[in-house]
Amino acid sequence: MSHVCPVCGFPNLSEAPRSLSGGASHEICPSCGYEFGVDDDDRGTSHAAAREAWQSGGMQWASHSQPPPKSWKPDMQLATVTPQSGGKLIMVTGCTRGCGRALAEFFIAHGHVVAGCGRGEAGIAELRKKFGPPHDFTAVDVSDDEAVLRWAARLITTHGAPDLLVNNAAVIAKNAPLWKVPAAEIADTLAVNVRGTVNTIRHFAPAMIARGRGVIVNFSSGWGRSTAPEVAIYCASKFAIEGLTQSLAQELPQGVAAVALNPGVINTEMLRSCFAGGAANHPQPAAWAQRAGPFLLALGAKDNGRSLDVPE
């Protein structure tokens, strides 16, 4: 199987430029000469800078040992990976399923570049197959601070600071009174929902602050502002999201915003675990994304510190 170079669009790389965990292939693109694992990880050359340099140098075939394909057309090749004018760079956590997946597909369909992560390697592999460069999907557990650090460092180097960071990744423990929830489920819920959000903010916010613009959207919930029995840990995690977002908003400089967003009630796997058959009365993620996507794209510095709801 061949793979596409995210810099020049060459469609016949022998390996994916990145493994599912984000490790470089160490392949040198014979078309543009970009070396994955060196030009990005070691020398800090972004895809955009390398693309511009290659273009301004006349899009010369780079390899000394491999000839270009017959009837090689670099301009047509390049068009396949050139981000659309006006498109935003959007990072989405938890993008392998549910709302995250639906949002990623919405943003891509509307000309934006999406860099997403999720815990499921199969889901990431499927997204990569469906959406090639310049989109970028990596298997990352947001509760693993080191993994988020590596992911953020690479994305910021290769793509730049995000215009929109969507902290969507979340899990919920099985419905039960608090004293009956297994310790492992409590730990996982807090690790993903709270620490995961904190991790991504810690590693992406400095680049957004340095650039002077960007919006951080932390997914809250109706259960981040009200309570119900048998979901105490989830409530606790989403109340935490509301609190940390409002504190963060007071720390961010002009131009950068943090928003807590209640997405509403959507028929996802998570909802089905709480509502069982009742989940079917709520919209599917793809339908929800048609409302949520434009709402997210319209957020800006003016919204800093607000607790918002996706409109019905």
Partner 1 sequence: MRNLLIFFLLLFAARESFAVNLTAPPEILPAGKDSATLRWKLDRPAGGRVRYGLSADKLDLSAADEVGTEHALTLRGLRPDTRYFYSIGTAKYPLTTGSFLAGGGVPAAKNDPSAQAVAPAPPRKVPLLQKITGLISKPAPQPAPALKPATMPPVSANAIGREVPPTRRIWGSLASLPDHFARHGADFGAKSPDDYAAQAWRFRERAVAERLPMKLDTDGTVRVFDPQTRAFAAFNRDGTAKTFFRPESASYWQRQPGRALQTPPWISP
The one among 11, 53, 188, 275 contacting partner 1 by CB under 8 A: 53
| CA nearest to 215, candidates 179, 174, 245 | 245
CB of 152 to partner 1, least distance (A): 11
Q: In what order do the strands lie in the sheet with 256-262?
A: 136-139, 113-118, 89-93, 164-167, 214-219, 256-262, 307-309
Q: Tell me the two tokens of residue 220.
A: 């809250």
Using CB under 8 A as the binding rule, whether residue 40 contacts partner 1 is answered as: no
Using CB under 8 A as the binding rule, whether residue 121 contacts partner 1 is answered as: yes
Half-sphere exposure of 209 (CA within 13 A, CB side): 12
* Helix%, strand%, coil% for the chain, nearest 5: 45, 15, 45
Using CB under 8 A as the binding rule, whether residue 2 contacts partner 1 is answered as: no
Q: Is 234 a catalytic residue?
A: yes
Using CA atoms, how far apart are residues 258 and 183, in angstroms rounded to an integer? 31
The one among 2, 12, 63, 290 contacting partner 1 by CB under 8 A: 63
Using CB under 8 A as the binding rule, whether residue 153 contacts partner 1 is answered as: yes
The one among 11, 20, 68, 244 contacting partner 1 by CB under 8 A: 20
Using CB under 8 A as the binding rule, whether residue 65 contacts partner 1 is answered as: yes
CB 156 within 8 A of CB 206: no
The one among 11, 37, 87, 120 contacting partner 1 by CB under 8 A: 37
The one among 2, 12, 42, 212 contacting partner 1 by CB under 8 A: 42
CB 215 within 8 A of CB 252: no
State the number of binding residues for partner 1 (CB under 8 A): 43
Query: H helices of the chain, where?
Result: 47-56, 74-79, 98-109, 121-130, 145-158, 183-190, 196-211, 232-251, 269-275, 285-297
Using CB under 8 A as the binding rule, whether residue 122 contacts partner 1 is answered as: no
Using CB under 8 A as the binding rule, whether residue 33 contacts partner 1 is answered as: yes
CB 201 within 8 A of CB 256: no
CB of 9 to partner 1, least distance (A): 15
**Options 204, 234, 239, 288, the catalytic residue:** 234
CB of 265 to partner 1, least distance (A): 35
Binding site for partner 1 (CB under 8 A): 14-16, 19-28, 30, 32-35, 37-39, 41-45, 49-50, 53-54, 57, 60, 62-66, 121, 139, 147, 150, 153-154
Q: Which positions are annotated as active-site residues?
A: 234
